Amino acid sequence: MSRPPLRYVPLGGLGEVGLNMWALEWEGQVLVVDAGLMFPHEEMLGVDLVLPDPTYLLDPARKVLGIFLTHGHEDHIGGLPFLLRRLKAPVYGTPLTLGLAKPRLRELRVLAEADLREVRIGDRVQLGPFRVETVAVCHSIPDSAALSIETPVGRVFYTSDFKLEQDPLLGRGTDVERFRRLGQEGVLLLLSDSTNAEREGHSGSERDLTPKFERIFQEAPGRIVVATFASNIHRIQQVITLAAAHGRRVAVAGRSLRNAFHTARELGYLQVPEGLTIRLAEANSESRLVLLTAGSQGEPVSALSRFASLRHQAVNVRAGDWVVISARPIPGNERLVFHTINNLYRNGAERVLYSEVGNVHVSGHAHRDELREVIEMIHPRFFIPVHGEYRQLHHHAQLAMATGMPRENVLVIEDGRVVQLTEDSMRVSEGSVSGLVFVDGLGIGDVEQVVLRDRRQLADDGLVVATVGVDRDTGVIRTGPDLIARGFMDPEFSEELLREARAEVVGAVKRFVGTRPDLTLLQESIHDSVSRLLWRHTRRRPMVIPLVTEL
């Protein structure tokens, strides 16, 4: 008798950068891996964060046995507080990963109820039908883990974010020997990071940056500002070590970076000499300063953006500063990063080094040669590329087939497409089980696509409000109509057009005179009449809001 199939459920991270979360399900028992977030695209007006929709996991017919976190980056742990508000399950992670998650859990008031369970690299945890082993991988943050998951159908191996560096400056290297042994034992499904699937060669080592940063610290005549991802502990340690060697004091700007700095220091992942750091309030009086700051993606409210535009409350750019943006822009953030660089130069920075100028960043994600090596080491029966936009998934799939994997055993899918696996088959189910949840201020999930559509319409074409008061018995106009336009066109040019629009409102109301008016029908009539007029004259579609009062 054949076993029931294993279900692989990608809820985020396939088709976009970030938002990483997926699950394995067998006979209603579910293991969740990662709970990430994504920062909004420009068209997501007013949205602060984007989360995977957990509805699939909340079905009473399913039992979530646990949530496994692979490392401490926001695109893998940032959505955890929101998930734990709706789902009670134990959370497993390495010490630094859980340490970085705790401030966010505390901030959103779910830490007290959270069941956090620490695991070490090499540990094995049995959760129902799933046996999960953490395997060391090198990434831009220590304590990163790949996962080997034994299931009733076969082994699933998930690289998470990784590169094949085996002797990093900080933390463990990728355990290539364990990769090979697992491949020899047999892997049913490989899920591998596609972030750099378009980039040839190898990713390079953090050690490659040491001489470049050394030269900067030797040559910079004044202050040095280094912006990097808040959780890039490797890069932060390099800066700390060089600052100590060159007699510079260090200040830290940006809440996320301060949290990561203090957490990593307390847990022993960051070595900081006593007396090296100073308070941010003292930074302006320190001539030989190194300012570590968040905001490498040009986020408008980040510490670096405010520093560059002279809006930071404690420290701002000044003449002679050297600024190092040690990160590559996430796709879609290029304009924000260049805007920040423009402001830095505009307001006095002497030199700005970034991804296009200075080679001051090394990726934490494997390039094509490394991805090929992993496929050949693991030698899986089936392969699904993860982590990336569709083109990156496509290139990774092509790479797998170039190693000799049969085309029918390689699958490119996007979020929500459930895959059913047996020992010798892989099939995609119809439909999709995923979606997006938008966080806007204190609201979680109350902004949906219709709200974003309305915001885009307001941003594109503006607003016209038509107010009119009608007799509740006869439908005759008692007050108005009055029209107000905002963001539509210059009032000087729109006066004649609005006069015609008032006539359209009068005409729409007259159709209902002599009857007790139905307000809904009356509002629809006003809306349609005014919208048609404005489109005919301007080829624009402002949002038309009719406000009808019965008198």
Active-site residue numbers?
193, 365
| Token pair for 550 | 């019965």
Task: Please give the Cα distance from 329 to 48 (Å, whole number).
Answer: 18
Q: What's the CA gap between 56 and 9, in Å, rounded?
A: 9
Q: Cα–Cα distances in Å, from 261 out to 140, 258, 266?
A: 14, 5, 9
In sequence order, the 6+-apart residues with CB closer than 8 A to the CB of 325 are 227, 228, 296, 304, 337, 340, 341, 352, 353, 354, 355, 360
**Smallest Cα–Cα separation from 215: which of 375, 76, 351?**
351
How far apart CA 266 and CA 261 sit, in angstroms, is: 9
Taking each helix axis from N to C end, the angle separating 210-219 and 233-245, rounded to the nearest 10 degrees, works out to 40
Q: Which two tokens stand for residue 126?
A: 């049995």
Strand order in the sheet with 249-253: 249-253, 289-293, 224-227, 322-325, 351-353
CA angle centred on 326, ends 321 and 329, rounded to 5°:
115
Query: Which of left, alpha, beta for 143 (phi over 0: left; psi -120 to 50: alpha)?
Result: left
- Tell me whether the omega of the peptide bond preceding residue 60 falls within 30 degrees of 0, making it cis: no
Q: Which two tokens stand for residue 326?
A: 């040690």
Half-sphere exposure of 84 (CA within 13 A, CB side): 29
CA angle 517, 519, 520 (to 5 degrees): 125
Contact by Cβ (8 Å): 516, 434: no
Q: Is 446 left (phi over 0), alpha (psi -120 to 50) or beta?
A: alpha
* Helix H or strand E encompassing 303: helix 303-308
Residue 121 has a CB neighbour count (10 Å cut-off) of: 18
